[in-house]
């Protein structure tokens, strides 16, 4: 499955991203800690290299990711020139404050009311950009929500006398060539559910969970995973949760089971997992 999905507001977002980046000092690229590579937008990388802007890669939602794997990602990203990295969770108060502290040394000449440090928060949809801005401002100025494309326009705010922050709409790239990346992004709901079928995403997720975190499935749903395949996982969830298709003679409702698995995964109810590792 390669995903070709580029709604009109994304074209505008791309143009705006280029413009705002040129007028910023540090690019704060928010990634999903559970898949920092798949959630890196090649357009943002290309633009920041062209504009020669330093970048802070924020591995957000670290509370949902496997801490050992997150540490390996931080080590890998810190090797990149002009890049600093940090893993945070915006649901834990105080962690967002690390962001401006790490941005300042990336543009030390910008530190006064006449030359404020301009931090541009960007990234793919639903990774927590607006939540990060709200946490920094300690006010709910931007709307947030667990779905893509909540933010429609950029917002600029003064953080203090010598720092400004800009929140921006999520940005994807026009054609996601690698089917794995498409499915990973659908798993964290960076791509709209209208574009991908839940059952396909859930089966993809089940494959990874079976390989890396089978115990989490057993703990959550109460079935043994030995010798199960991904499709069996959905059947097992349907059985355990009594998901049956109406008027179909007791046939299992795999679609409903898929939604249960995806919701549990997205909300972190299943436990802490990383779907991508830097070792492979
Ligand atoms: N568990 C967890 N959830 C988070 C964290 N940060 C944000 N969220 C949740 O992630 C969802 C998306 O957050 P937003 O701030 O709206 O994401 P966004 O990147 O601004 O999304 P768009 O505007 O659609 O591009 C919301 O449900 C947030 O509550 C985090 O660190 N941990
Ligand atoms: Mg937003």
**Which structural domains are found in the chain, ordered by start?**
3-175 (3.40.50.300), 197-267 (1.10.1580.10)
122 lines ligand 1 (CB under 6 A): no
Q: How many CB atoms lie within 10 A of CB 163?
A: 20
pTM: 0.95
Q: Tens-digit pLDDT profile for the chain (280 aa)? A: 566 666 667 778 889 999 999 999 999 999 999 999 999 999 999 999 999 999 999 999 999 999 999 999 999 999 999 999 999 999 988 999 999 999 999 999 999 999 999 999 999 999 999 999 999 999 999 999 988 989 989 999 999 999 999 999 999 998 899 999 999 999 999 998 677 799 999 999 999 999 999 999 999 999 999 999 999 999 999 999 999 998 878 899 999 999 999 999 999 999 999 999 996 4
Contact by Cβ (8 Å): 76, 48: no
CA–centroid distance, residue 154 to ligand 2 (Å)? 9
Instruction: Look at residue 13 in the predicted model and tell me its pLDDT.
Output: 80
* Cβ-proximal residues to 12 (8 Å cutoff; 6+ apart), any chain: none
CB 236 within 8 A of CB 205: no
**What is the distance between the alpha carbons of residues 169 and 14, in angstroms, rounded to a whole number?**
9
| Residue located via tokens 């969830």 | 237
Q: Which of 128, 141, 150, 168 to mutate to test the pocket of ligand 1 (most atoms within 8 A of CB)?
A: 128
CA–centroid distance, 248 to ligand 1, in Å, is 38
CA of 138 to the centre of ligand 1 (A): 15
Q: State which of 13, 89, 90 you would mutate to test the pocket of ligand 1, scoring each by most atoms of that ligand within 8 A of its C-beta.
A: 90
Structural Rg of the chain based on CA atoms: 20
Token pair in block for residue 50? 């062209």
Specify the pLDDT at position 6.
63
Residue reference for tokens 């779905």 = 147
* Residue 149, pLDDT score: 86
């Amino acid at each position: 499955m390669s995903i070709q999905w580029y709604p009109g507001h994304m074209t505008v977002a791309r143009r705006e991203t280029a413009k705002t980046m040129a007028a910023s000092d540090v690019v704060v690229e928010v990634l999903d800690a559970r898949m920092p590579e798949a959630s890196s937008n090649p357009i943002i990388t290309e633009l920041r290299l062209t504009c020669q802007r330093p970048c802070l890669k924020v591995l957000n939602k670290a509370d949902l990711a496997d801490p050992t794997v997150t540490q390996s990602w931080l080590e890998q990203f810190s090797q990149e020139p002009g890049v600093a990295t940090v893993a945070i969770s915006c649901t834990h108060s105080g962690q967002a404050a690390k962001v401006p502290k790490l941005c300042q040394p990336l543009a030390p000449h910008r530190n006064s009311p006449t030359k404020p440090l301009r931090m541009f928060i960007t990234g793919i949809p639903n990774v927590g950009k607006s939540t990060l801005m709200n946490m920094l401002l300690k006010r709910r100025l931007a709307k947030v929500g667990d779905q893509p494309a909540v933010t429609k326009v950029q917002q600029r705010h003064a953080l203090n006398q010598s720092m400004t922050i800009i929140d921006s709409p999520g940005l994807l790239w026009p054609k996601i060539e690698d089917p794995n990346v498409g499915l990973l992004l659908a798993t964290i709901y960076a791509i709209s559910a209208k574009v991908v079928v839940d059952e396909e995403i859930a089966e993809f997720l089940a494959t990874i969970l079976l390989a890396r975190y089978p115990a989490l499935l057993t703990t959550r749903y109460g079935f043994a995973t030995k010798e199960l395949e991904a499709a069996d996982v959905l059947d097992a969830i349907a059985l355990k949760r009594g998901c049956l298709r109406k008027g179909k003679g007791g046939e299992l409702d795999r679609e409903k089971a898929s939604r249960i698995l995806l919701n549990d995964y997205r909300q972190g109810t299943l436990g802490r997992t990383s779907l991508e590792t830097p070792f492979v």
